[in-house]
Amino acid sequence: MNLYPFKFYPILKERLWGGTKLCTALGKKTESDLIGESWEISGVTGDVSIVANGVLEGTALTDLINRFPEEVLGKSVLERFGKEFPILIKFIDAQKDLSIQLHPNDELARKRHNSFGKTEMWYVMDADKGAELIIGFKEDISREKYIESIRNGTLLDSLNFENVNEGDTYFINAGTIHAIGAGVLIAEIQQTSDLTYRVYDYNRKDAYGNLRELHTELSIDAINYRKQDDFKVKYSKEPNVPNPMVNSTYFKTNFIPLNKNTKFDVSERDSFTIYMCIDGNVWIENDFGSVFIKKGETVLVPASASHILLNTEGVQLLEITI
C-alpha cells in the first residue's frame, strides 16, 4: 500500500469550561456552545481517530498501524512504543478557567494505572486581553504546606500565574501543577494519556449538579513542589525553515512559517511527521499523494515518506515528530 498523508475526523469533546472558538475560529462543525477540545489525532482507547481522506477513508488509526506498523510509525518509534500511537494531538478552547490539575510521570502512571504519564506542550493560538495560564508554584512549597492549602482553600495564593499572548509556547513536564485560563485557545501536543489529577475546580458542578471529583490523595506523590523557571519556550521565527521549539524524550516540535513552496528531504527521518496548521493553508504532498489543510486542521505524514512538499503562499505550521 502506498501511504499518502492522512487527515482524520476531529473528535469533539463537550466540557463545562468549553466554548465556541473551535467552531468560529477553527471551523469545527458543531452546534454545541460547550466544545472544549478537538482531538485531532488519537490512539486513546474509546477515542481512536478515523481517516477522513483517500482510499483508506474510514480506517481507524489503530487498524492503520496494525496493517502497516513500520511504514506508519517508523522503525525506531515501533521499537520504543510498540503499536500504540505515542502522542495525542488536540486543539483546546477554554471559555472558562479549567480545573487546576497535574499529571503523573511515566513511572507512577505505569504503577498506578498501567498507562503512560503525561508531559505536554501548549502553543497559544489566541488569547483574550488579560488571559492567563497557571504553571507551577510562585516559590518552592513543602508537601505539608501544599496539603494545608488544599484543606483550607488557599491553593491559588501559592500558584504562578502567567499572562499570555498569541504565539507563546509552554512545555509542561509531568508533575507540574497547571491550568489553562479563560479566553485561551491552544494547540496541545502530549503523550498518549488521558490521566489527570484534578486538585481544585472552583467548586463548580457538572450538568447533574454534582461537584466534580478531586484527586487530592493521588496528587500528593505525583506533584513537583519546586518553583520552575524553564517552562516557557523560546524559539525563532525564521521563514521557510524549521525553527526548533521542543526537543524532548516524548516528541520534537518545530515552528515552520512559510511564504513559498518548500520541499523537505525526510528519507533519514525514522518517524511519522504531524503538521498542525495554526494559520493560513497548505497542500501537503509525499511520494504517494497530497492533502489540503487550513488553520485548525492536522495531517499525519507516514514515516515511509522520503520527501514532504509543502505548497503554499502563506502558512504557519507546528511540525511534530518523535
| Burial track 169-182 (b if 16+ CB lie within 10 A, e otherwise) | bbbbbbbbbbbbbe
pLDDT at 207 over 80: no
For residue 292, what is its C-alpha cell?
489540503
**Which has the closest alpha carbon to 251: 103, 121, 90, 123?**
121
pLDDT at 260 over 80: yes
* pLDDT on residue 208: 83
- The span from the CA of 92 to the CA of 6, in Å, is 21
pLDDT at 205 over 90: no
Rounded mean pLDDT, 100-120: 90
Domains and CATH numbers, the chain: 11-220 (2.60.120.10), 243-321 (2.60.120.10)
Rounded mean pLDDT, 300-312: 98
pLDDT at 177 over 80: yes
pLDDT at 117 over 90: no
**Which has the closest alpha carbon to 303: 269, 253, 275?**
269
Rounded mean pLDDT, 271-288: 98
Rounded mean pLDDT, 190-219: 88
**From residue 36, how far is each of 91, 122, 229, 312 by CA, in Å?**
8, 15, 28, 30
* pLDDT on residue 206: 77
* pLDDT on residue 253: 98
Q: What percent of the chain has pLDDT over 90?
A: 90
For residue 86, what is its C-alpha cell?
505515542
The HSE-up count of residue 292 (CA atoms within 13 Å, CB side) is: 4
Rounded mean pLDDT, 245-259: 97
Task: Determine whether 80 is an active site residue.
Answer: no
* pLDDT on residue 297: 98
**Helix or strand holding residue 44 (H, E):** strand 43-44
* pLDDT on residue 317: 98
* pLDDT on residue 212: 86
Q: What digits encode the pLDDT tens for the residues 27-51?
A: 999 999 999 999 999 999 999 999 9
Rounded mean pLDDT, 167-188: 97
Q: What percent of the chain has pLDDT over 70?
A: 100
Q: With H, G, I as helix, E, B as strand and everything else as coil, classify residue 255.
A: strand
The answer for residues whose C-beta is within 8 angstroms of residue 305's C-beta and 6 or more apart is 3, 266, 273, 286, 287
Selecting among 80, 110, 143, 198, the annotated active-site residue is 198
pLDDT at 227 over 80: yes
For residue 244, what is its C-alpha cell?
526548533
* pLDDT on residue 57: 98
- The span from the CA of 50 to the CA of 41, in Å, is 9
Query: Is there a contact between 251 and 319 (Cβ–Cβ < 8 Å)?
Result: no
Confidence of residue 130 (pLDDT cuts 50, 70, 90): very high
Query: Is there a contact between 115 and 211 (Cβ–Cβ < 8 Å)?
Result: no
Angle at CA of residue 154, ends 152 and 160, nearest 5°? 155
What does the mean pLDDT of the chain come to?
95
pLDDT at 211 over 90: no
* pLDDT on residue 116: 82
* pLDDT on residue 195: 86
CA-based R_g, the chain, Å: 20
